[in-house]
Chains A and B, each alone.
Chain A
Amino acid sequence: MIPYQKRILKNGLTVVVNRDRSSKLAAVNILYKVGARNEDPDRTGFAHLFEHLMFRGTRDVPSFDLPVQMASGEDNAFTNNDYTNFYLTLPVDNLETALWLESDRMQGLWITPEKLETEKRVVIEEFRQRYLNQPYGDQTMLLRELAYSVHPYRWATIGRSTDHIEGATLKEVEHFYRTFYRPSNAVLAISADCDEEELFALAEKWFGALQDTPFTHSPLPQEPPQCAPRTKIVERDVPATTISIAYHMGDRLSKDFCTGDLVSDLLSGGDSSRLYQHLVKDERLFASVNGYISGDVDPGLFILTGQLLPTTTEEQAIEAFHRETAALKTIAPSDYELEKVKNKFEANTLFGELNVMNKAMNLCYYDFLGDLELVNREIDEYRAIDGERIFEFAERIFRPENSSTLTYRAR
């Protein structure tokens, strides 16, 4: 349970605050409603590259990190397909340093051609380190391309190729900044041991004077229903073959989200889960196996993936996955099994609320989803799921014509 208060400033900036009486730290989180899904298909990876540029200094403050660090603070950021998130913790006495810096870079960013060139090289090294120089590094990229035909989720946040990053221009940078980085396209959350009114006053002081120029953007292309199974086989220099199957499911605010998440826990949440017990331990088909939902805002994916043991054939592996999804359509999970995955969700929620940073981050995220109350209500949504809902979900989602199967074959 995270107690919070919310207000919207005149310029459209949403501010959410939480008073935490146990921490000596303040957490400041700012979320911009722009992610890889908003990118031009010929300039993918741009939202993430831009996130890097946000640390490259403004006209007034040449380095973002320096004053943060001088204030004993730590900051970082991440980008995903849906949004870009900047977060920072520092001793509560230095809270204003964070607000000053975040307000400054919401409008004063100053990118030179030299800064852009260096940052492109850094991001290309990140691309190489995480996706090209790793066994299985391109696996999720391939699965996205297979599962989506038109929706921008078909590319990963890092982008489709290093060429897209290489080609980014200063003009594109400026346009992107003006379009997406403004008060009414952002959510600010603060968690600290401070009076709520005081926190709202500080938000007004540092962000109230910023201008907002609303911008309407064109709707994203939505993925049409999939009508036939898709398969793809690639060969790579890896020691073991992996099989992944992706199924389309509903969006983040639909009932599918909680149900899908719960089903993924039935299948692979912990060592007692079905896939681990049946396919890893009893049948010894896989070395490891996982079931998860992509968790995107727009309709997302339910993904099954497993790494085969040397004695397992690809057909056996795929058949085993199909058997497990078929079982979900015929035998209802026991009350005990449902209780287990619900307890797990509750525990994860509690463990996740132990520090100020997670709380501020969650507040921004749920407000961005458009349902801030859900941050404290979601546990009830999980509790309400019954066997019927799981049958219905499994029937509708785990159909061959809704599936994309990627075989990542060891050469």
Chain B
Amino acid sequence: MAETHLSPRNIPDRLEGRSARLLKSWESLLLVVACLIFLGNSLASPYFLDPWNLSDATFNFTEKAMIAFAMALVIISGEIDLSVASIIALASTAMGYAVQLGFDTPALVVVGLSVGLLCGVVNGLLITGLGLPSIVVTIGTMSLFRGLSFIILGDQAFTGYPDSFAWFGQGYIWWVFSFEFTLFVVLAVIYGVVLHKTNFGRAVYAIGNNQTAALFSGIRVGRVKFTLFLLTGLMAGLASICLTSRLGSTRPSIALGWELEVVTMVVLGGVSILGGSGTIPGVVLAALIMGMVTFGFGLLNVPGIVMSIFIGLLLISVIALPILWRRARRRLAH
């Protein structure tokens, strides 16, 4: 290999215009895919293009997407949090327990959010305080948090949530726009601004690209990472409130396997699993795609487990295809 190897990083910024880059970006590819799936769905089922059905479809992804935003930041910083689904279970169990003690809706929300936050603190302390690898720590806390809800609940279930609590998962702000969907949009904007327009966001990218360099350039790496794990915990608590309110009951197996779907959503959104790159608009599009695929398959009576095969294939192929494409182009160039 005598020729100079030009990887994107060696090329100075902005060789192409802004619009050309935007056109070739991962996000525009996702947008095309999303449009195709939307079109395919509306042709395949006559029930798809109905505002209320579409509104129902959003419940497939809003809760997962809330966590995916925070997870995107964690993965961009080069870490991972596999305990999110278990945090949902523990927060939901705590809320169920609080109902038995006679707590009312505002107190339940506080309980859910603080349990989420507390779980985030545990993860953050273990990972940044003791310097342990996040993948093993969160596999451990994944088992610990869900294990705690199993200890509390066994094979029982908590029900009997107050009527006013149902609003978070079943209520509508205006016309077909549910509370959950509105929350999803608001959070997307907040996370987009934080990641792309603030110092904190730049610090997250810097840590993901080169943690040592970030430390030497004065970024408090430990503190930023700790904050990120707090945020994922908080988002899992929020998702737990919405999910519990939507289902109206708590079992220890609630949200089982969601961590995989959340990670899939983030990776599908173009966030590199190795850290350092990715955008919030990408994650939003990935959430829409996954939601529409699930809903479309549901309308066609495809069983859930077959959808999970599709999600698994999607995860591997969205990462494999760009690699194969790059290779094919390099081969053509010679």
Asked if chains A and B come from one complex, the reply is: no
B residues adjacent to A (C-beta < 8 A) = none
